Amino acid sequence: MRSDAIKRELEKAPHRSLLKALGYTDQELERPLIGVANSFNEIIPGHLHLNEITDCVKAGVRMAGGTPVEFPTIGVCDGIAMNHSGMKYSLASRELIADSVEIMVEAHQLDAIVLVTACDKIVPGMLMAAARLDLPAIIISGGPMLAGRFQGKNVSLSNIFEAVGAVRAGRMTREELAAMEEAVCPGCGSCAGMFTANSMNCLTEALGLALPGNGTIPAVSAARRRLAKLTGMRIVEMVREDLRPSLILTPDAFENGLAVDMALGCSTNTVLHLLAIAREAGVEINLEKINEISARVPNLCRLSPMGGHYLQDLDEAGGVPAVMHELAKKNLLHLEAKTVAGRTLGEQIKDKKVLRPEVIRSVDDPYSSDGGIAILQGNLAPGGAVVKKAGVSGEMLVHRGPARVFDSEEEAVQGIIGGQIQRGDVVVIRYEGPKGGPGMREMLTPTATIAGMGLDKDVALLTDGRFSGATRGACIGHISPEAAEGGPLAALKDGDLIEIDIPRKKLAVALTEAEIKERLAGWRPPAPRVTKGYLARYARLVSSASAGAVFA
């Protein structure tokens, strides 16, 4: 066993003495040492109960003959970090999480790793670590939050963000907002819609690195605790089988992940994260591949914020295995791909059925014949841009309107609530990319404010930053190259005509290449917004969004 490096032979007597100081017996040290990375904290609702999930994992490890070794990782709550400087740290935390897991596992020569996670950047950070370490590894999430109830309807976090805009527009009272505030988040779990956290947890199943149900079983369910025990048991078997991520995270697995992404209508952030995970796994994925898969995979689900269904509904409908069973009917998956369950993907989904067809549509009757995400290109985004096509109203799939240019999220929010935006406008928020932000902030406040004001079918929003998975509307992000690197976005002026054609995958400004070049000739990069600490280092190291915003 790998852990023999810290527990066997004469020279390891000092190491054994330290392990025995922790209370480990000789019998426990004879077993595989299974790292359990627990991202519990008391600031993220999705992580509040992870000590309980971790205890179940450790029980499963012990039942199967392993010795669990728990250690912590950090986590940022994107909802709480939203619309202030704290959001600069969200994406940046992904690299720290991957690095911290790598450090703990390598420094202590653990035999395998169970990654206990829940929310936005923590899931991909842990997946990146799993791919990098290439030791037996398995993901178990804390599961999704149940939807709240307000005025007889199911609601979740996106509703309260949009409600702020509704109050500003006089479409909702402050008293109603206060009542909704009490209702939208009823307890622990990752927020109830198909936002980034739940998107990534569902994709862990498609990638093959989690057991069935990981993405959808509610956080409060006893089934979630049972799944955690089974996960702990399974990792010990994986050590004996030497089943590693390199055998699972193959090109076929990533294509399966992208196919499920398109069918579910996941967050645009999945593009960043799948690119980053693939890089760690040594698998080539590019934006062209994403569009290729989107073109042939139908969109089968419209969960919040695009529709009225939530993760608990998807779970009742059969979960991710039922979605994959539908896709397999049209040969849209690689069924021979390996999974952590020790079965092929095809074996795993063979008997799965859709139990609620109003939640998971038939592959013969999809919401659209192509996927939920599209990559756009053109003279405004030569390196690509990302849009959640499934969340765009039909009226805005093709749009031409004047740019209203802002150099930060704060300026844009003030312009929106100050009445500067008219129907037909295209709001541009620049200098919010990976380097320029730094940290590529999510822009849920401006998008939700526009939606709450009833303008989501009339106003588009472009940025070199990101959007929350809770965003809906004609919101195009990840524009590359970013403005801070002299991308075309830096050349825009108020009134420039922006041309959006999502069906044709085009994003352009009505300027010639010569005009863009002339404007950029006099452009100078803005002074760094952060000059010390981790964010300053992040800005120096981070690559383009089109490459996954990984460290170069």
Write phi, then psi, for 425 (nearest 5 degrees).
-70, 160
Q: Quick one: CA torsion of 376, 380, 383, 385, rounded to 10 degrees?
A: -40
Catalytic, 158? Answer: no
Pairing type for strands 33-38 and 67-72 reads: parallel
β-sheet with 67-72: strand ranges across? 67-72, 33-38, 112-117, 137-141
Give the integer Cα–Cα distance in Å for 337 and 409. 42
Question: Side chain identity at 485, as an amino acid letter?
Answer: E
By three-state DSSP, how is residue 398 classified?
A: strand
Q: Quick one: CA torsion of 463, 465, 467, 472, rounded to 10 degrees?
A: 0
* Catalytic choice (468, 480, 544, 546): 468
HEC string for 102-142: HHHHHHCCCCEEEEEECCCCHHHHHHHHHHHHCCCEEEEEC
Q: Which two tokens stand for residue 396?
A: 């805005």
Check residue 146 and report its DSSP letter.
P
220 within 8 A of 146, measured Cβ to Cβ: yes
Give the integer Cα–Cα distance in Å for 134 and 127. 11
Q: Which two tokens stand for residue 229?
A: 């025990």
Separation of CA 275 from chain center: 11
- Tokens 């149940």: give the residue: 146
CA contacts within 13 A on the Cβ side of 195: 29
Give the integer Cα–Cα distance in Å for 411 and 47. 32
Give the integer Cα–Cα distance in Å for 195 and 443. 13
Choose among 341, 162, 317, 365: nearest CA to 237: 341
Choose among 78, 89, 125: nearest CA to 537: 89
- Tokens 């940022």: give the residue: 76
Write phi, then psi, for 466 (nearest 5 degrees).
-125, 170
Residues in CB range of 505: below 8 A, 6 or more apart: 291, 374, 375, 376, 377
Active site residues: 468
